[in-house]
Structure 1
Amino acid sequence: MSLSDCRILELPRISDPRGNLTFIESDNHIPFGIDRVYYLYDVPGGAERGGHAHKQLHQLIIAASGSFSVMLDDGTERRTFFLNRSNYGLYICPMIWRELHDFSSGSVCMVLASRKYEEEDYYRDYAEFQEAAEKRG
């Protein structure tokens, strides 16, 4: 998999004068089943999150509130996405390094993941990730 497999997905949005509703169904709106949901919030100004890649995990990252940027890197190419709408999510396939930054005040980053937490699924060292990516590519 490569950076070209990562993309912004538009999620269903039901508009109503009382407020909008967006829903996400496994293997329908996103290309994987959901085993875990977590969210980042109260990220201090100037702080970065991420700084890792996954060997097998698929993710969808959503700016549930506020905004932030996500830099993706497949070991060869880099691309940055700006997320600021609750009905759009960034799909990230396995073997993509990610760094989240430029969090707005009060932002909430929601992540849908294809697997439960497994430390052995992580590349936390960029050089180790880059070496593995070269071998796969």
Structure 2
Amino acid sequence: MKRNNNTVFDCSVIDLPQICNDAGNITILENGNNIPFDVKRVYYLYDIPGGASRGGHAHYQLEQYIIAGCGSFEVILNDGGNSKKITLNNPNKALHIVPGLWRELDNFSSGCITLVLASELYDEADYIRKYEDFLKFKKER
């Protein structure tokens, strides 16, 4: 399995193209154009109960774009040594999360819709579900 040395500083909020007019706005995402990986899976989170958290895991290989389609939430990234908190609240901004980072999503606003574009199909073997295992993985890099 490929190891990586990614840190929270390798993640960034990306401004997505926006076309605006009196009829509303549109943001377009295209493989090979404004996404740095081929999207193989799309999913979204919604109806999240107040006070609930999502995430709480890392991935060995998976990259993601996370977008606040509606409302707002916070993403806390951790690389085993550094933490970074990002608030997402604009549908034309995406957080690019690189592989090998622990992520937690919380503080969801009422009615929030979280859109996730993923570089891989679902594969349970790509998940690191225990924080202790994540720290061990980072030390072995």
* Map of 2:3 onto structure 1: none
Listed as ranges, the gaps of 5+ residues in structure 2 are: 1-5
Is 1:14 the equivalent of 2:19? yes
Aligned with residue 38 of structure 1, among 36, 40, 43? 43
What is the CA deviation profile of residues 59-82 of structure 1, one whole-angstrom value per residue up to 9, with x for unaligned ones? 000000000000000111000000
Deviation at 1:28, TM superposition (A): 2.1
State the number of aligned residues: 136
* Map of 2:115 onto structure 1: 110
Aligned ranges for residues 1-137 of structure 1 at < 5 Å?
1-136=6-141
Could you state the TM-score of these two structures normalised by the residue count of structure 1?
0.98
Query: Aligned letter for 1:93?
Result: V
Tell me the percent identity.
51
Give me the whole-angstrom Cα distance separating, in 2, the residues matched to 1:27 and 1:48. 32
Give me the whole-angstrom Cα distance separating, in 1, the residues matched to 2:11 and 2:70. 22
State the SS of the aligned residue for 1:82.
strand
Give me the whole-angstrom Cα distance separating, in 1, the residues matched to 2:79 and 2:60. 12
Could you state the TM-score of these two structures normalised by the residue count of structure 2?
0.95
Deviation at 1:4, TM superposition (A): 1.2
Query: Aligned letter for 1:63?
Result: A
State the SS of the aligned residue for 1:27.
coil
Following TM superposition, where does structure 1 have runs of at least 4 consecutive aligned residues deviating by more than 2 angstroms? none
State the SS of the aligned residue for 2:122.
coil
Deviation at 1:27, TM superposition (A): 2.9
Listed as ranges, the gaps of 5+ residues in structure 1 are: none
* Cα RMSD, aligned residues only: 0.6
